[in-house]
């Protein structure tokens, strides 16, 4: 049995990749020394895998920014607006990050991960092969390190489906233009002596039509004809292959399958068998999570696989590229021992592969299993009072005590808000001053009292600003929060924080998700002081501000000994206590943000309903226990509302604000086909841009929206939080926004 890897994190063990990139962008590094540093990181990553004894090491998984951008540039798919760029490297980063004269290419999530890729744009052009990048990577590894690498590329079907700028009926033509280029890549690799290539087709875990499947098979037949001496590992991941039976018949030499996230994969294999002449790429270790595997269980799984395929034709590997996990757990020094011993980042996962593949490692395997056993039996994971309470809460009828229409009337009596109430989404600018203050507190230069006073001063300043602007519903501004998930994680039980647990999110941006490792529980009020203080300064209502349970879950690394659903109910149960604490402290307008609810949708449609059911229930568990006069708000970013309106209704929030300003036309039309009766604020301007919107354009936007919404349900707000904007942009934009609302009110 061989060991194989699908991709290794690019960022380096101390994020040296990020630092080199950012230094280069700031012109602190010349192009030559930047490229040299990048080469060092790339080779070090390969050498490490070699030293760990991995048999089949991926190459061309490294990139200067994003692997999909590499593919687009390799095929000459450069949007016209960037053509002026002469230097290839400034063209490349121009596409990724935008230039003064050309907006950046769109960025979107890579399947259901938190990795964002650059979306290739077609623009009616014929692709060509600019550089055989996999070949360059193959040769580099061979010549410099003596590694017989396995080049990795994104397959043509996935590439096209993830691109934009063409009509659906053009898809076949585009594929027929791309295939010869892929064939050339394969031929040249074969000539250079490469033995394997990994062609990533994660799109095969989603459902394709019969025609698409037939067309895909034809493509792989062409590949086979073009370079019969090069072995192709057709690699799927993130779920079970949707068309297992068909795909295993493709004329390739290996099929890579996900046995972790694809719960059905093993059954499919049992049912339909596995071709004797192919290699099975068995993705048995979770490439998406940070936990050690239970190696004895993995050994069992391997035994089962060996009944279905000959062991010399099995490669054991992670379920997907290790891009989605941090590099090495050895930098974590401040975690409880039981937790530390149970972590497996990229390097530890490779070590697990080695253990699994070598004979007589029983002792080492037992040690790892014992570590997991210790964590699972630790008090943090066995808080019976929490389990009992959550079970009881789940069993209750999770709904508000009055239907919306009754609540609406009573709330209007309490709040007496004008038509088209104006508000914001929660955060105000996180200026250098705010960040410095946090730094001083963290480093111990400021006492807690000093820092708290600073936050209070900020709140006071911004309450005054909001009153001057004339907003109807105010917020405290979230100055005390680093990040909307981390802040709550630090105050709830059951969370831990990594020191060096960085994962690439997009480009040079890395995130360090909190770790949910124990039973989650409320310990003390988390937001009450700031909200109550803000409310004490004004007669206008101040909205309380919480991050919702599903978002906290989706933006964390989550324990995998119980279901995500269960963990989410625990978070919801804890947050309900915060909601009730706010309510009893007199904060009776409360916003529970769920920007990440949509992105947690499973890849397979067949799993959607279950996810929607429990995530809606968790939101309800958080919010439904309040009085009918307490107004629950929620907020969501990036969302396809056409398919999501049903879910939004079920949340039963009194008011929802949505990020819409970038696709406003489509959204407004989405509301015509279904009547949504609750309060709704469609963002009237895009907070991602420094541009200050004019009164007139927002007035038009509000009036257009009023063609489909009732005047007494509509709210006026920006489309997301303002933390990334500066103070003057924020004030001016909000002044224009309230002026626009006032103009429309006058007419109504
Ligand atoms: N309340 C948060 C803020 O205003 C919401 C952020 C988000 O939607 N991502 O920053
Ligand atoms: Zn948002």
pLDDT greater than 60 at residue 661: no
Beta-carbon contacts of residue 243 (< 8 Å; ≥ 6 apart): 204, 207, 208, 213
* C-beta of 425 in contact with ligand 1 (< 6 A): yes
Give the three-state DSSP class for 412. helix
The conformation of residue 291, written as its DSSP 8-state character, comes to B
Q: Which atom of ligand 1 is nearest to the CA of 659?
A: 8
Average pLDDT over residues 375-393: 96
Confidence of residue 101 (pLDDT cuts 50, 70, 90): confident
Distance CA 634, CA 547 (A): 9
How far does the centroid of ligand 1 lie from the alpha carbon of residue 423, in Å?
13
635, 653, 657: residue to mutate for ligand 1 pocket, most atoms within 8 A of CB: 635
Q: What is the pLDDT of residue 690?
A: 80
Residue 170's pLDDT is 93
The three-point CA angle 678-683-687 to 5° equals: 150
Give the angle 315-316-319 at the CA atoms, nearest 5°.
120
17 in a labelled binding site: yes
Site to probe by mutation for ligand 1, drawn from 423, 424, 426 as the one with most ligand atoms within 8 Å of Cβ, is: 426
Q: Is 484 in the pocket of ligand 1 (CB under 6 A)?
A: yes
Please indicate whether residue 597, judged by its CB atom, sits closer than 6 Å to ligand 1.
no
Cβ-based neighbours of 668, under 8 Å, separated by 6 or more:
682, 704, 705, 707, 708
* 249 Cβ neighbours under 8 A, 6+ residues apart: 217, 275
Q: Is 720 in the pocket of ligand 1 (CB under 6 A)?
A: yes
- What digits encode the pLDDT tens for the residues 360-380? 888 989 988 999 999 999 999
pLDDT confidence tier of residue 671, bands split at 50, 70 and 90: low
**Which of residues 709 and 266 earns the better pLDDT score?**
266
**DSSP class per residue in 415-442:** H-PPSS-B---SB----HHHHHHHHHHH
Q: Which residues pair with 108 in a beta bridge?
A: 117
* pLDDT tens, residue by residue, 122-148: 988 899 999 999 999 999 999 999 999
Say yes or no to pLDDT of 200 above 70. Answer: yes
CA of 76 to the centre of ligand 1 (A): 38
Does residue 721 have its Cβ closer than 6 Å to ligand 1? yes
DSSP 150: E
pLDDT at site 359: 84
16 assigned ligand-binding residue: yes
What phi, psi does 474 have (nearest 5°)? -100, 170
pLDDT in tens, 145-195: 999 999 999 999 999 999 999 999 999 999 999 999 999 999 999 999 999
CA of 358 to the centre of ligand 2 (A): 49
| pLDDT at 278 (0 to 100) | 98
Q: What is the pLDDT of residue 98?
A: 87
Token pair of 53, please? 């004894």
Closest ligand 1 atom, CA of 545? 1
DSSP string of 105-146, one letter each residue? PPEEE-TTSS-EEEPPB-TT-----S--HHHHHHHHHHHHH-
Catalytic entry in 272, 610, 688, 710:
688
Note the ipTM here.
0.99
Q: What is the mean pLDDT of residues 43-59?
A: 98
| 362 vs 591, more confident | 591
Kind and range of the H or E run holding 279: strand 279-285
Q: Ligand 1 centroid vs 69 CA: distance in angstroms?
A: 29
- Residue nearest atom 5 in ligand 1 by C-alpha distance: 721
How far apart CA 551 and CA 501 sit, in angstroms, is 19
Three-class DSSP category at 534: helix
688: annotated active-site residue: yes
pLDDT band (50, 70, 90) for residue 641: low
Quick check: 662 pLDDT over 90?
Answer: no
pLDDT in tens, 515-530: 999 999 999 999 999 9
Residue 211 marked ligand-binding: no
| Confidence at residue 495, expressed as pLDDT on a 0 to 100 scale | 98
3-state helix, strand, coil in the chain (%, to 5): 50, 15, 40
Q: Does 86 belong to an annotated binding site? A: no
Percentage of residues in the chain with pLDDT exceeding 70? 97
Least confident of 167-171, 214-218, 324-328, 572-576: 167-171
Average pLDDT over residues 592-602: 93
Instruction: Indicate which atom in ligand 1 lies nearest the CA of residue 635.
Output: 8
CA neighbor of 663 nearest in space, from 642, 694, 679, 646: 642
What would the pLDDT profile of 219-228 be if each residue is shown by its tens digit? 999 999 999 9
Q: Is 656 in the pocket of ligand 1 (CB under 6 A)?
A: no
Q: Pick the ligand that lies closest to the CA of residue 548.
A: 1
688: confidence class by pLDDT, cuts 50, 70, 90: confident
Average pLDDT of the chain is 95
Strands 503-506 and 509-511: antiparallel
Q: What tens digit of pLDDT does each residue of 252-273 get?
A: 999 999 999 999 999 999 999 9
* Contact 544 CB / ligand 1 (< 6 Å): no
In 311-462, beta strands by DSSP E: 314-318
User: Is residue 663 predicted with pLDDT exceeding 80?
Assistant: no
624 assigned ligand-binding residue = no
CB 531 within 8 A of CB 476: yes
Q: Give the pLDDT confidence score for residue 687 in this predicted structure.
A: 86
Mean pLDDT over 233-243 rounds to: 97
Q: How far is the CA of 593 from the centre of ligand 1 (A)?
A: 7
537: CA distance to ligand 1 center in Å? 23
425 appears as a binding residue in the annotation = yes
């Amino acid at each position: 049995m061989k060991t194989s890897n699908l991709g290794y994190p690019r960022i380096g063990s101390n994020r040296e990749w990020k630092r080199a990139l950012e230094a280069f962008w700031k012109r602190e590094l010349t192009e030559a020394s930047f490229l040299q540093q990048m080469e060092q990181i790339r080779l070090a990553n390969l050498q490490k895998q070699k030293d760990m004894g991995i048999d089949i090491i991926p190459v061309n998984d490294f990139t200067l920014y994003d692997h999909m951008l590499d593919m687009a540039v390799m095929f000459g798919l450069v949007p016209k607006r960037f053509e002026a760029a002469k230097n290839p490297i400034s063209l490349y980063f121009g596409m990724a990050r935008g230039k003064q004269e050309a907006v950046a290419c769109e960025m979107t999530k890579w399947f259901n991960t938190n990795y964002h890729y650059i979306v290739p744009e077609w623009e009616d052009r014929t692709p060509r092969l600019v550089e055989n990048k996999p070949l360059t990577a193959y040769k580099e590894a061979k010549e410099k390190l003596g590694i017989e690498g396995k080049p990795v590329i994104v397959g043509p079907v996935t590439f096209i489906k993830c691109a934009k700028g063409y009509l659906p009926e053009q898809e076949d033509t585009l594929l027929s233009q791309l295939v010869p280029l892929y064939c050339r890549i394969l031929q040249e690799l074969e000539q250079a002596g490469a033995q394997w290539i990994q062609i990533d087709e994660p799109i095969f875990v989603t459902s394709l039509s019969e025609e698409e499947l037939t067309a895909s098979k034809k493509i792989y037949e062409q590949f086979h004809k073009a370079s019969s001496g090069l072995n192709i590992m057709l690699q799927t991941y993130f779920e079970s292959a949707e068309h297992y039976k068909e795909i295993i018949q493709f004329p390739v030499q290996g099929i890579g399958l996900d046995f972790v996230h694809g719960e059905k994969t093993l059954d499919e294999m049992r049912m339909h068998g596995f071709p004797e002449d192919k290699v099975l790429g068995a993705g048995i270790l979770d490439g998406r999570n940070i936990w050690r595997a239970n190696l004895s269980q993995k050994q069992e799984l391997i035994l089962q696989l060996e009944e279905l395929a000959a062991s010399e034709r099995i490669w054991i590997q992670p379920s997907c590229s290790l891009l989605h996990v941090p590099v090495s757990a050895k930098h974590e020094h401040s975690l409880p021992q039981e937790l530390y011993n149970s972590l497996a980042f990229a390097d530890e996962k490779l070590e697990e592969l080695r253990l699994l593949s070598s004979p007589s490692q029983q002792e080492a395997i037992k040690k790892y299993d014992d570590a997991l056993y210790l964590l699972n039996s630790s008090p943090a994971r066995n808080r019976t009072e929490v389990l009992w309470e959550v079970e009881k809460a789940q069993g209750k009828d999770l709904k508000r005590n009055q239907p919306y229409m009754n609540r609406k009337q009573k709330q209007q009596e309490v709040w007496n808000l004008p038509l088209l109430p104006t508000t914001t989404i929660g955060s105000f600018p996180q200026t250098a001053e705010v960040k410095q203050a946090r730094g001083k507190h963290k480093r111990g230069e400021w006492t807690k009292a000093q820092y708290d006073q600073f936050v209070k001063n900020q709140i006071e300043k911004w309450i005054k600003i909001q009153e001057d602007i004339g907003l109807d519903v105010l917020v405290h501004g979230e100055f005390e929060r680093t990040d909307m998930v981390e802040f709550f994680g630090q105050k709830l039980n059951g969370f831990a924080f990594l020191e060096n647990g960085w994962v690439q999110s997009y480009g040079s941006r890395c995130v360090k998700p909190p770790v949910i490792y124990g039973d989650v529980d409320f310990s003390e009020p988390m937001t009450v002081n700031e909200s109550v203080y803000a409310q004490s300064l004004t007669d206008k209502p101040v909205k309380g501000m919480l991050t919702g349970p599903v978002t906290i879950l989706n933006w964390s690394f989550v324990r995998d000994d119980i279901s995500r659903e269960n963990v989410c109910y625990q978070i919801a149960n804890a947050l309900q206590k915060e909601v009730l604490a706010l309510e009893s402290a007199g904060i009776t307008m409360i916003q529970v943000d769920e920007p990440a609810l949509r992105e947690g949708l499973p890849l397979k449609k067949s799993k959607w309903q279950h996810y929607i059911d429990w995530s809606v229930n968790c939101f309800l568990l958080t919010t439904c226990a309040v009085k009918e006069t307490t107004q629950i708000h929620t907020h969501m970013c990036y969302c396809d509302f056409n398919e999501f309106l049903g879910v939004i209704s079920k949340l039963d929030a009194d008011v929802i604000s949505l990020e819409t300003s970038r696709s406003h036309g489509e959204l407004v039309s989405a509301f015509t086909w279904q009547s949504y009766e609750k309060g709704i604020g469609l963002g009237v301007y895009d907070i991602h841009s420094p541009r200050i919107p004019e009164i007139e354009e927002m007035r038009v936007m509000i009036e257009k929206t009023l063609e489909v919404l009732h005047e007494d349900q509509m709210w006026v707000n920006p489309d997301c939080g303002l933390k990334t904007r500066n103070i003057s942009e924020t004030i001016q934009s909000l002044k224009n926004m309230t002026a626009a609302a006032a103009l429309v009110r006058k007419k109504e």
